[in-house]
Structure 1
Amino acid sequence: MLNVDLDRFDIKLLEIIQNDARLPQKDLGESVNLSTAAVNRRLKKLSEQGVIESYNTKIKPEALGFNITVITTIKVINEQFNELESLRKLFSSCRQVQQSYYVAGEWDFVLIILVRNMDEYTELTENLFIKNKNIKKFQTLVAMRKDKVSLSVPIEI
């Protein structure tokens, strides 16, 4: 857990750049009543503290042919640390896996996966799950529609 003190300027800056990280620091400063140099120092500090993890561009998956979003739940056989770490690394290294969660409850992992078609997903299941001796079972949910897709943090000012 991060132990970071954020003031109202930091929070406002985070809210703005979370929605559009391309804004020039001069414009950011005008929005929060800070100088460009102060904005620069604050953003650098927030990055160094790990509050800002990265600056990304959101690409529409369908524009690159990734037309299917699949949510997969996974149950493992062996929950020893090294076995779980091996799976975590496997899932994290797969380019089609957009999100990977180790979870509590009936299932052990939940993956959000983007694929071009069901043939690609079938091949992926064989490589990630069926051939893996530590996977007990998995369940596939195909998203019919994406009503909301976001990694934005709900910021309250």
Structure 2
Amino acid sequence: MDEARIDQFDRKIMALLQGDARLTNNDLSERVNLSASQCSRRRQRLEEDGFIKGYRAVLDRDKLGFSLVNVISVTLATHNRDNARRFGELVARLPEVQEAHALTGEMDYILKVLTPDLKSLSEFVNGVLLPHESVQHVKPA
């Protein structure tokens, strides 16, 4: 399905699910004025065609003990494919890293990291990131 095949019902279904992914097809049908079976078929088509990529639970990081959000800039030791791959593999296995974005310019990556406190942030930077062979410089914001 391409964008031209998405109609106002599909857009409304996606907007509703984006606000609350737990909505049932019956809930959707009441809000978009289609039958539950039509909503089910449309939802399934939107999923199969990749417009809906998945559903997530939004967790309360404070209750989980991860109240500190950190933004960290990283400069790689060398700028080649192998080093970028090594860094990517490192970041992918670190549960503290919530987001990683490649940049151009002065720094190579920016990371969004969750830690319980400043001590944990220091341990993460000094004990995990800086010792890694792919990393040259780390700067927490």
Give structure 2 stretches of 5+ with no counterpart: none
Q: Work out the percentage of aligned pairs sharing the same amino acid.
A: 25
Distance 1:46 1:131, change over 3 A: same
What's the CA shift for 1:17?
0.7
Corresponding residue of 1:4: 2
Residue in 2 aligned with 1:121? 121
Alignment of 1:54-69 (within 5 A): 54-69=54-69
| Larger Rg computed on CA atoms | 2
Distance 2:99 2:43 in 1: 26
Mark the runs of 5 or more structure 1 residues left unpaired by the alignment.
Answer: 142-157
Letter of the 2:92 counterpart: S
Residue by residue over 1:54-102, the C-alpha shift from the partner in whole angstroms, topping out at 9 and shown as x without a partner, is 2111111000111111000111122212221221121122111111111
TM-score normalised by length of structure 1: 0.81
Distance 2:90 2:8 in 1: 40
- Secondary structure, in 3 states, of the residue corresponding to 1:14? helix
Distance of 2:112 and 2:88 partners within structure 1: 13
The 3-state SS of whatever aligns with 2:121 is helix
Match of 1:51 in 2: 51
Distance 2:82 2:38 in 1: 45
